[in-house]
Structure 1
């Protein structure tokens, strides 16, 4: 089951595997809105998460391929969140004297634990290297000391080789600078925390679309075209509700611009002329669409024929 995460009325998909299934198996495109880890300061190529249209999310839920959830706080987290409002800005404790954990605190804790782990690995590697080279290091130091004694005319009787001083108290003397530690940059949302499923058949602060006439018309039109095998994307950049493609948008240009109207609503003549000129300028056919209460969709195409 694909999890669609709802945030302020917007639906996001965080797993790359889910994005692949949504596109390849269900013919839904969405829109990537996240920055790439390696190139975060550009917007020519975007990455996860994938943002879905409300109609795409509703369709996935209705065909049983996904469920919509939103993050929620547990009872204890909610209590801490309520208590945090009573804590001064410089305090890090709740009213119960317990530490108030935030996302920043969790990240700092992760860095601290990661540093300790990497320091232990570096320490073991340092000890292993010194132990493997201990005899050569000791022999070299003994040879240099014997040479100095001979030059000074002193006795060259030296004590037997022993452990090198670097191995003594290595644990206390070992220095591993924090600047040398490796920091893992997550490329996926590994944990979603506490989530609650959203009922799309009820209007709520998380899902405000239920019962809206505009959304109902858009969804019925979207579903009808999707069932015919078309691919649809957001059409706002062309002044419409949807852009309709005969296949995957990576391979085809859009053929239609869909503009949705409530059933039996009168359309001003100026809007019809504007839509016709828009479609002509971008070389696409404009579809004026509406749907009745039973879900039957009516399509009216506009094409600028010019004077005969």
Structure 2
């Protein structure tokens, strides 16, 4: 069962396996909003968590494939949980120490092999310098060469490679959130705007389309004929609840914007019976 963590209306998926299943099995795109551990100061490529649209999260919950949960980590830990957490910390420190010792052994072996390969070259260079200084062959430099090969190698702890955990071994304490009733963590339930958006989203999704947020093009959704990694959006969906006013200037602006980005504007109006009426708009201009 997919766990969707909700916080103040945002629906987040932290598991990489769940995020992959959501995209491949259910054709839901979402948006990656997390910083990458190796490149935290850029925003060109992002990572987990995957943030879902409220409509995407509700669809998964309605299909029975996901549950909405909230974290309760702010509550104090029980005595047994504190002991368990302390043992996990000690185990992690032990793993770090074992990793350091292994890295030091491997680095020392690599250093010894490198010095062995370069021993003749080092000896030639020192013999040449002794000859330039007019010193006799051998002497203290020979012992220095042997000491260089036999000296122990110490890997600075600041140079060791550390594996950064990206997932918990335990999910932590969570409680289920009822998506059918409004709450601080899920305020979308019974909201008229959300209901209208969801009916439009579900209708288009049932027809086999991929959908994503459409705010960057002034709409509610962008509608794709296939995976957005391979296709451009064909439609900009605008949700128009029955009886809601639609100013002419907004209608003209939407049509012209859609034409300028080579997309068709869809006016989507869900009815109380559950059906959705679609009207397409394209700006023809002066011919």
TM-score, normalised with respect to structure 1: 0.69
Deviation at 1:180, TM superposition (A): 5.0
Rounded to whole Å, the distance in 2 between the matches of 1:38 and 1:214 is 39
Unmatched segments (≥5 aa) in structure 1? 81-99, 130-174
What does 1:55-74 align with in structure 2 at a 5 Å threshold? Answer: 55-73=55-73
Deviation at 1:12, TM superposition (A): 1.1
What does 1:113-262 align with in structure 2 at a 5 Å threshold? Answer: 113-118=94-99, 178-262=157-241
In the alignment, structure 1 residue 51 sits paired with structure 2 residue 30: no
The 3 A distance-change label for structure 1 pair 110 and 238 is farther
Rounded to whole Å, the distance in 1 between the matches of 2:12 and 2:72 is 16
Residue in structure 2 matched with residue 288 of structure 1 by the alignment: 267
Residue in structure 1 matched with residue 280 of structure 2 by the alignment: 301
Rounded to whole Å, the distance in 1 between the matches of 2:32 and 2:88 is 26
Residue in structure 1 matched with residue 28 of structure 2 by the alignment: 28
Rounded to whole Å, the distance in 2 between the matches of 1:273 and 1:118 is 64
Give per-residue Cα distances to partners, 1:80-137, cap 9 Å, x unaligned: 9xxxxxxxxxxxxxxxxxxx99x9x9998677544554577689x69xx9xxxxxxxx
Question: SS of the counterpart of 2:26?
Answer: coil
Rounded to whole Å, the distance in 1 between the matches of 2:87 and 2:42 is 28
Higher gyration radius (CA): 1
Give per-residue Cα distances to partners, 1:208-267, cap 9 Å, x unaligned: 001111111000000000000000001000011100001111111100001112212231
What does 1:98-109 align with in structure 2 at a 5 Å threshold? Answer: none
The 3 A distance-change label for structure 1 pair 8 and 302 is same
Rounded to whole Å, the distance in 1 between the matches of 2:223 and 2:50 is 19
In the alignment, structure 1 residue 267 sits paired with structure 2 residue 267: no
Checking the alignment, whether the CA contact within 8 Å between 1:277 and 1:304 is kept in structure 2 is yes
The 3 A distance-change label for structure 1 pair 112 and 186 is closer
Question: May I ask how many residue pairs the two structures share in their alignment?
Answer: 239
Unmatched segments (≥5 aa) in structure 2? 110-153
Residue in structure 1 matched with residue 16 of structure 2 by the alignment: 16
The 3 A distance-change label for structure 1 pair 108 and 191 is closer
Question: SS of the counterpart of 2:251?
Answer: helix
Deviation at 1:38, TM superposition (A): 2.6
Question: SS of the counterpart of 2:212?
Answer: strand
Checking the alignment, whether the CA contact within 8 Å between 2:212 and 2:222 is kept in structure 1 is yes
Rounded to whole Å, the distance in 2 between the matches of 1:219 and 1:225 is 10
Checking the alignment, whether the CA contact within 8 Å between 1:257 and 1:286 is kept in structure 2 is yes
Deviation at 1:40, TM superposition (A): 2.3
Checking the alignment, whether the CA contact within 8 Å between 2:237 and 2:265 is kept in structure 1 is yes
Question: SS of the counterpart of 2:242?
Answer: coil
Question: SS of the counterpart of 2:158?
Answer: helix
Deviation at 1:294, TM superposition (A): 2.5
How much is the aligned-residue C-alpha RMSD, in angstroms? 3.2
Rounded to whole Å, the distance in 2 between the matches of 1:7 and 1:239 is 26
